[in-house]
Structure 1
Amino acid sequence: MATSIRKNPVKVPAPPAPRRRLSPAERERQIVEGSVRFFSEHGLDGQLRDLARELGITHTLLYHYFPTKQALIERVYADLFAARWDEEWERLLDDKTLEVEVKLTRFYTKYAKRILERDWVRVFVFSGLSDRYITDRYFALLGEKLFPRLVRESRRYLGVPNRSKPTPREMELLMGLHGSIFYMGLRRWVYGLEQPGSKTDPFDEVFVHDRVRGYLQTLPEVFGHGAKPRAAGRTPRRALA
């Protein structure tokens, strides 16, 4: 008796969905976002041909939007660095109703959470190892918008007049504070080290406050001549919220 063999119907794969044509604005955004990821992995010396390949576009199309590599790096700086500066931070540091320890802790907590994410930190480090275009511009921004305010608030903390230029020692201590905040991101995104207790929030206010308090405790020694905080005593934890 013959046995019929039932054949399974051949499944014809569905044709791929047609790729949507990106508008010029969407394509430019795709290139910029892809460039940030690329530079954060390969550094600012990465080749644009390799970037185009990773983006899935032609080298010619990449140059249509950014005729030079410098033009692309300038756009990365504008989007990744300059655009992240929040003018609300300036208003916070200018608020005369807040104690200095409170406002510095609030500022650096907000700053770390917004600034110190993976691509920002890694591109910044790679720029410092390359032509320093991004790092130079960013430090110029800090020199205009942040450091003078930190100098003023540090002197206010001690009741010292803010009339003279900061001394080298004063600036070195201040840069130590700023650098200690940046190191929190460096340790996480470059060295791959987790901060203890940082699984949910790597830039917890407690860690920031420790750094701010250490900075403020050293200020009297830098200024000398009996300089001391206007109001001694530990700032309550709840006052920082």
Structure 2
Amino acid sequence: MADGMALTARRKRLPPEARREQIVDAAVCYFAEVGLAGTTRDLAKRAGITQALLYQYFGSKAELLEAVFARVYLDRMSPRWPGLITDRSRSLRERMLTFYAEYTGAIFSYEWLRIFMAAGLAGEALNRRYLDHVRDVLLAPLLEEIRFAARPDAQPEMEDLWNLHGGIIYLGIRRHIYHLPTPDDVMPVIERAVDRFLAGFAIGH
């Protein structure tokens, strides 16, 4: 019995970075399930650690949520997307479809969408920071590419692009938030949405 307990103790002695990653992984799952009002005490129980140990790695719940933000939002943002969006050697339609195929593949998950919705309802600044990042790094250059391709008398505004973007994201919300049926392959739906958008501004393939 003593040997078994000693073995268990040795298994639980993780290196600091591994322990930190374990806590962040547990926090992502926990906050996705219960929302951001969940407590660090309950999170620690779920993770099989003490609350005191959790606070050795994260000085506050806000600091822990920053780590969750980085894991769920920023780590899924590909550094190649801005270059893809502005690569005029490819058609605008092809660039948009490739981007949205990769983007939805990255964010259409239970954890991402649940935490995103929970943070929005809680009024967390995390969502605003993420949406500002999406606007500045992805949608603003995409809007410039669309305006370049559109006629001078058919210039879209940022709100038009947000409408397209939001409609695509709603596919994931229906699946993971409302648990409503959605196509297993969302790309045909996205393809039709992009084609309607481009046609609305007289942009051909």
TM-score of the aligned structures, taking structure 1 as reference length: 0.77
TM-score of the aligned structures, taking structure 2 as reference length: 0.90
Within a 5 Å distance, the mapping from 1:162-173 to structure 2 comes to 170-173=157-160
**Deviating runs (4+, > 6 A) in structure 1?**
none
Structure 2 stretches lacking a partner, 5+ long: none
Q: Does 1:55 align with 2:47?
A: yes
Deviations 1:144-182 (A, max 9, x none): 201211211221221449xxxx8xx72221111110111
The equivalent position to 2:103 in structure 1, one of 88, 97, 111, is: 111
The equivalent position to 2:64 in structure 1, one of 72, 82, 86, is: 72
Higher helix share goes to which structure? Answer: 2
User: How many angstroms apart in 2 are the aligned matches of 1:192 and 1:93?
Assistant: 31
User: In structure 1, what residue type is equivalent to 2:168?
Assistant: I
Q: Does 1:87 align with 2:76?
A: no
Deviations 1:80-111 (A, max 9, x none): 11121112111111111111112111111111
SS of equivalent residue, structure 1 residue 194? coil
User: In structure 2, what residue type is equivalent to 1:173?
Assistant: D
User: In structure 2, what residue type is equivalent to 1:103?
Assistant: R
Percent identity among equivalent residues?
Answer: 34
Considering only aligned residues, what root-mean-square deviation do their CA atoms show, in Å?
Answer: 2.1
Match of 2:180 in 1: 193
Deviations 1:99-156 (A, max 9, x none): 1112111111111011221101110000001132221110121122012112112212
The equivalent position to 1:209 in structure 2, one of 185, 188, 191, is: 191
Match of 1:238 in 2: none
Shift of 1:17: 7.7
User: How many angstroms apart in 2 are the aligned matches of 1:89 and 1:57?
Assistant: 38
Q: Which has the larger radius of gyration?
A: 1
